[in-house]
Amino acid sequence: MRHQLLVLLERIARRFGIDPHQYWHLLRISLLLDFRRQSALSSGQSTPSALLTTCLVYGLFSLLFALFTFRVLDSFHYSLIFLSYSMLMIAFIVLSEFGATIVSPDDYEILGHRPLASRTYFAVKLSNLLFYILLIGSALNVFPALFGAFSESAERLFPLIYFPVALLACLFSAMLVVLLYGALLRVINYEKFKDALVYVQIIFSFILFFGYQVLLGTISYWERAAEIGSRRALLIVPPGWFAGLVQVGLGRWERDFVLWAGWGMLMTGFLVSAGLRSFSLDYSLHLARLRAATAERRRAQPLFRRRIAHALEWLLARSPEERTAFYFVGRMLRRDRMLKLRLYPALGFPLAFIVLGIMEKSLTDPFLPGKKFPSAAFLTVLVGPLLVMNFQALLPYSPEHAAAWLFRVTPVRDLVRFFAGVRKAFLVTLLLPLFLLIGMALSWFWTPWHAFLHAALGFALSYIFLGIAFLFYRGGFPFSQEPVKMTQTRQVTLAFLSLPLFGTFFFLLYVLYKHPRWPFVALGLFLLFGWIVNRVADQRNARAMRIRHEWECGLA
Amino acid sequence: MSGPMIEVVNLTKRYNGVLAVDQISFTIAQGEIVGYLGPNGAGKSTTVKMLTGILRPTEGTIVIDGLDLLKDPIEVKRRIGYVPETGGMYESLTAYEYLQLVGRLYHLSEEILDHRIEEFLKLFGLEAVMHERLSSYSKGMKQKVLISAALLHNPKVLFLDEPLTGLDAHSALLLKELLRRLAAEGKTIFYCSHILDVVERTCTRVIIIHKGRIVADGTVEQLKELTRQGTLEDIFKQLTYSSDIEELAQAFARSILEMGG
């Protein structure tokens, strides 16, 4: 029986142009590689542990979310909300973590000259991705599935129906992003593909982040729409299709549910057959073209701009070590594909909350007396700690990690100044311009000096956060470790857990806003405290680096 | 002997409009060892990557063992072995696991595969470390594994891009002798290198490429006669360098010494 099943599967695979023998061995090896890869210098930074932590944290988020919603929503809206959440999270993870899995010309360097059909190669890549998606999708949906059984109008069958549908929705979401890569590979000039992909991913992540925030704010809209019978608009919202499928699975054969479910199945079928089949056929060809892509020659910066940049470096980073780190990290923040992809989408956060604040009329000036807590004003500046936590989590990793031997053989005498340079690069390149922009944006709605004072306080608190984050930094020299699959998602997910702490901080700050002089005093104190914490963090990191270096030398 | 084993016609590769390989054509017969020489950036590795199916040519045709590489890439790839210049392996695997993966991609039977892996690694002196991860290997040890991987499926054509990189003297001698024996058995070998004396001693024919174009093609003796030079090094210098190497080296040394420190 088992043998017959294997023969049948092999026959199906061959029909799709996949060599089952090669597929099986390559898939086994690709997962083995993921699970073996471990950051050389970090302790316990491996894919299994990162995957486990990410799944646990996502499971916890979903549990809390489900606890708050299962008694107040009917089974349809409950499914709609959780399916939207899962699909967006999956799309976000695929975009930020698995870009290199699907489109990796480096991998092609190893296998490109082997007799491997394009479809076999693509099937291995896709299966590797789906393995992670199914695990994360399960973590995101197991509690919502269980709690859904007790939601309004649900039945005991709900978990059995919802869970597989949710996994199907996650697969749909992942495949949609994979197809986006495929479409990009087709339309964009191959020589510019690598650079272009970064920006497209940033824009796409930006839209996702923004869309997610807006989605939460539109729950009431969908509920209203349901009441007045205009739910047909859900035909353009993929989570709506799968929520309809859950209802059909529960035996509710209403016309709308059947329509959405049918449409969803049709779209899924179309996505898999038309899209993936054609993409997989040209997959190796695309990778070969990518392999040939070379970076475009950049025009040299004008002399005037170079002089300004040098003057800025000289002013802000006086010692050679500090200047080296400042220059290096500053350039990487502008050029490193992975870093940009993981950091810049967070900029959608303030934009999303400003738009939501306008929509919900909560973007009121916090310095003026008012009855309602101006949540949008405070949420907008949460981008600071979010960026800080992401930066701290991402700093040790880079695809160019092998080049970090340079720091180990060159005489970096003053490690304290070196780490000061790292932080300053982040502050000057990213945080300062961002808070200036926030100040400018808010001054459109508030008295300008209120807007800039609010932004300055946000910056000062982020500065303190930076020091605290660096107190817990264990990554060694910047960009010195190999990126290990899932570790960054884990780090960033853990970073989210610290946001309530920052929120509490700001709520306390709100009290100060009601007094004319206190915000200025607080600003001064925050900057002073930030300077002290950052200084202590630099000394701690320098000491840790020295100990690590001695340990490595001892080992050698 | 039937037709040529490798036939390249008007092969061209452009990167961002810049010509890396410009309309090169050559044929290589079965059993030949051809040295492919050229200065840095001349287009050597680009040619090899096109010949092995890693890069797609902008123009031109490649026929290996009578099969068009662009039309039938899988069949052509079954017939070739390739030792890349850098990287090209999963370092989280052990040597045994890596070679096992490669063999399975060529559908070798498990019995033959096990036997060959053990034999090859033994010949290269790696049997004691074959179950250790490649990340712990030295450059030369990795190179030996790459050479083993290229030979595992007994290919008709071998493409070698700087195969002696990192090899110790004994292994380098072993490889050179092995190449001669393989050529005598009818294997065609395309040998890409910078090391002129090795090419002079190992290859039956030399192709020199400069700025993407073939500037010389023939046996070492033919080239010596044609250019009236005594060694391959002199021929190479004459065909590929416009400035005086001694003068350049002197200026370089002066610049380093002037810095002091």
pLDDT digits (tens, 9 = 90+) for A355-377: 777 777 778 888 887 767 777 78
Using DSSP bridges, classify how beta strands B157-161 and B188-192 pair: parallel, antiparallel or unpaired: parallel
Q: Which of B56, B87, B105 sits opposite A115 (nearest CB)?
A: B105
- DSSP, collapsed to helix, strand or coil, labels residue A400 as coil
Write out residues 91-120 of B within 8 Å (CB-CB) of A: 92-93, 97, 101-102, 104-107
pLDDT digits (tens, 9 = 90+) for A313-331: 777 777 888 888 998 998 8
Quick check: A393 pLDDT over 90? Answer: no
8 Å CB contact of B49 and A191: no
Count A/B contacts: CB-CB distance under 8 Å: 78
Measure the CA–CA gap between A72 and A220, rounded to whole angstroms.
12
- The contacts of residue B201 (CB under 8 Å, 6+ apart) are B176
8 Å CB contact of A291 and B80: no
Measure the CA–CA gap between B179 and A508, rounded to whole angstroms.
77
Interface mutation vs chain A, best among B19, B54, B192, most A CBs within 10 Å: B54
The pLDDT value recorded for residue A221 is 61
Residue A446, min C-alpha distance to chain B (Å): 50
Is B136 in the A-facing interface, judged by CB distances under 8 Å? no
Quick check: A40 pLDDT over 60? Answer: no
8 Å CB contact of A288 and B92: no
CB-CB neighbours of A186 under 10 Å: 12
The pLDDT value recorded for residue B221 is 85
Q: What does the pLDDT average to over A229-247? A: 78
The pLDDT value recorded for residue A206 is 63
The pLDDT value recorded for residue A193 is 63
pLDDT digits (tens, 9 = 90+) for A482-532: 877 776 667 667 666 666 776 777 777 777 787 778 888 889 999 999 999
Report CA-CA distances (Å) from A6 to A116, A128, A188, A549, B243.
Answer: 21, 20, 40, 53, 66
Q: Which of B49, B52, B89 sits opposite A110 (nearest CB)?
A: B89
Measure the CA–CA gap between A325 and A337, rounded to whole angstroms.
19
Measure the CA–CA gap between A309 and A316, rounded to whole angstroms.
11
Rank A46-55, A244-253, A398-407 by mean pLDDT and report only the highest: A244-253
Quick check: A226 pLDDT over 60? Answer: no
pLDDT band at A43 (very low <50, low <70, confident <90, very high): very low
Q: In what order do the strands lie in the sheet with B33-37?
A: B80-83, B157-161, B188-192, B33-37, B205-210, B213-218
8 Å CB contact of B106 and A296: no
Q: Which residue of A has its CA nearest to B109?
A: A21
Which helix H or strand E contains B190, and what residues bound it? Answer: strand B188-192
The pLDDT value recorded for residue B34 is 95
pLDDT values of chain B reduced to their tens digit, one per residue, 261 residues? 467 999 999 999 987 778 889 999 999 999 999 999 988 888 898 999 999 988 889 999 999 999 999 899 889 999 999 998 876 788 888 999 999 999 998 999 999 999 999 999 998 889 999 999 888 898 889 999 999 999 999 999 999 998 888 888 888 888 889 999 999 999 999 999 878 888 888 898 999 998 899 988 888 888 877 777 777 788 887 777 755 667 777 777 777 777 665
The pLDDT value recorded for residue A42 is 43
Dihedral through CA A390, CA A180, CA A242, CA A120, nearest 10? -100
Is A318 in the B-facing interface, judged by CB distances under 8 Å? no
pLDDT digits (tens, 9 = 90+) for A53-71: 778 888 888 888 888 877 7
Measure the CA–CA gap between A514 and A369, rounded to whole angstroms.
7
pLDDT digits (tens, 9 = 90+) for A287-316: 666 656 554 455 566 777 777 777 777 777
Measure the CA–CA gap between B170 and B173, rounded to whole angstroms.
5
The pLDDT value recorded for residue A41 is 40
- List CB contacts (< 8 A) between B87 and chain A: 106, 109-110
Q: Note the ipTM here.
A: 0.80
- List CB contacts (< 8 A) between A29 and chain B: 90, 93, 97, 101
Bridge partners for B11 per DSSP: B24
The number of C-alpha atoms within 13 Å of B48 and in the hemisphere containing its C-beta is: 29
Is B49 in the A-facing interface, judged by CB distances under 8 Å? yes
Interface mutation vs chain B, best among A26, A30, A113, A128, most B CBs within 10 Å: A113
- DSSP, collapsed to helix, strand or coil, labels residue B36 as strand
Quick check: A29 pLDDT over 50? Answer: yes
Q: Which of A29, A110, A113 sits opposite B52 (nearest CB)?
A: A113
pLDDT band at A467 (very low <50, low <70, confident <90, very high): very high
Is A193 in the B-facing interface, judged by CB distances under 8 Å? no
Quick check: A269 pLDDT over 80? Answer: yes
Quick check: A556 pLDDT over 50? Answer: no
Q: Is residue A79 classed exposed, middle or buried when 0-12, 13-18 and 19+ CB atoms within 10 A define those classes?
A: buried
Q: Would you give the distance in Å from CA B114 to the centre of its chain?
A: 26
Q: Which residue of B has its CA nearest to A288?
A: B55
- The contacts of residue B246 (CB under 8 Å, 6+ apart) are none
Quick check: A98 pLDDT over 70? Answer: no
